[in-house]
Amino acid sequence: MKNYEMYVNGKWIKARSGATREIRDPANGELIARVPESTREDAAAAIDAARAAFDKGPWRATNAQDRGKLLFKLADAIRKEAKIFAELETRNCGKPLAESEFDVADAANCFEFYGGLATKIHGETMQVPANSLSFVLREPVGVCGQIIPWNYPLLMCAWKLAPAIAAGCTTVLKPSELTPLTALELARLIEACEFPAGVINILTGPGAGAGEELAMSSKVDKVAFTGGTVTGRKVMESATSNLKKISLELGGKNPNIVFADADFESAVDGALFGAFANQGEVCSAGSRLLVEESIHRKLVDAMVKKVPRIKLGHGLTPGVKMGPLVSAAHREKVESYIRIGVQEGAKLVCGGKRPEGKDLAGGNFLEPTIFDDVKPAMRIAREEIFGPVLSVIPFKNEEDAIRIANDSEYGLAAGVWTLNINRGLRVIKQLRAGITWINTYHPTFNEMPWGGYKQSGTGRELGLYGIEAYLETKQVNVSLDEAPIGWY
């Protein structure tokens, strides 16, 4: 068990109140750490540190090459401790080790990607109808408040911090109060890599308090939030205090569409992986499986037959494919949706309960759950459950599939399975979603934009688009006329 402190202004500090939070392994309830429980006062102090670093410190004079070198250095440091980070990630949030290992590698790649992009920020010159040299500069937004969720703790740190630092901003990052450990270990590496004090501040604590201060403070120029849509609305409302820039990556109820001409075995695997990877605790999970009527029954039967291969257990146990849900409270929420599905008349074909076995009794485990014959109007087909619950909806034809897929307040992700590439592209173009796949599901690339339509958020992360969120655009005009304008 380790006692952590927060990282603010280049120093390790406790919460001003002295309060702490216990962090327990969701697979067995073991106490693994204590972290400070910050308040709005702690957040305000961290914001002041970031403000001073941006306005008065040496950071504004740090050139793009040096910012990139710092990000490269951090990427290398993560790779050197990849095993430590992966194991801690699994113990903190429950996911299988293989998934944590992938996330850690991807986080390092993300810092490296933006390290290279730091020197590729450019403006432009324009021909204007005057004797003027007119050009555009791209400058950092300023102080950024960044609030991340509990399902991909380290990776979300990278998604937020890397573009902000590449752009020249300073940040206060608040990880989820449930999964702060790899963020704090990352702060240790940030200190070792000699980032200037105040440039990156990592604050632990709940959204009520510290998170609210980040969203409301007039000293914060931008807030970036990843999490639930309900909380996202509150962040957006709070951000109006000084009309700060905002980017939101929110929830999803994503359609994964399987046509009869799809490669059957690939579709079965893709449907299960889309729904149950990371315990289904993924905003882009393919939690609505739309299946063409002619193969509907065959596909459901094949999935049910394959579900027993999804081994449940502690994520550090070899062969485990699904770990526990992040907390007991979250498991209860997911179970409430399973009860709702039964009450609504959907057919529960597998799962739906807590698994048996003494090795699983102490953790927040839940069986992979599949509902069949789900109607599009049912709550389990419309509301984000954020757990291992798949709703199967049959459809008649292409037009029917598109109608059902788009009948949602969300628009984050979508998948299409078909061997007819013309159909695949035709359908994808009609789906109201920001992240889409054909004959695969879930691959994410640092080079490509991430974000959704409708109530799945605003703005984009990753790729060239991700750094745009941290840049201001400045117009500069230099008169080449030496004589007065003669207006008066």
Q: For each of the chain's 488 residues, which pLDDT tens digit applies?
A: 999 999 999 999 999 999 999 999 999 999 999 999 999 999 999 999 999 999 998 998 999 999 999 999 999 999 999 999 999 999 999 999 999 999 999 999 999 999 999 999 999 999 999 999 999 999 999 999 999 999 999 999 999 999 999 999 999 999 999 999 999 999 999 999 999 999 999 999 998 899 999 999 999 999 999 999 999 999 999 998 889 999 999 999 999 999 999 999 999 999 999 999 999 999 999 999 999 999 999 999 999 999 999 999 999 999 999 999 999 999 999 999 999 999 999 999 999 999 999 899 999 999 999 999 999 999 999 999 999 999 999 999 999 999 999 999 999 999 999 999 999 999 999 999 999 999 999 999 999 999 999 999 999 999 999 999 999 999 999 999 988 988 99
Q: Which two tokens stand for residue 159?
A: 């998604």
Q: Among the options 110, 157, 283, 384, which is catalytic? A: 283
φ, ψ (nearest 5 deg) of residue 311: -75, 130
Kindly tell me the sign of the dihedral angle through the C-alpha atoms of 385, 390, 394, 397: positive
pTM (predicted TM-score): 0.96
Q: Which of 112, 212, 249, 292 is catalytic?
A: 249
Let me know: does 467 contact 312? Beta carbons within 8 Å.
Answer: no
d(C-alpha 350, C-alpha 446), whole Å: 35
**249 labelled catalytic:** yes
| Sign of the dihedral defined by the CA atoms of residues 45, 50, 52, 55, in that order | negative
Short-list 344, 269, 348, 358, CA closest to 312: 358
448: exposed, middle or buried (Cβ count in 10 Å: 0-12, 13-18, 19+):
middle
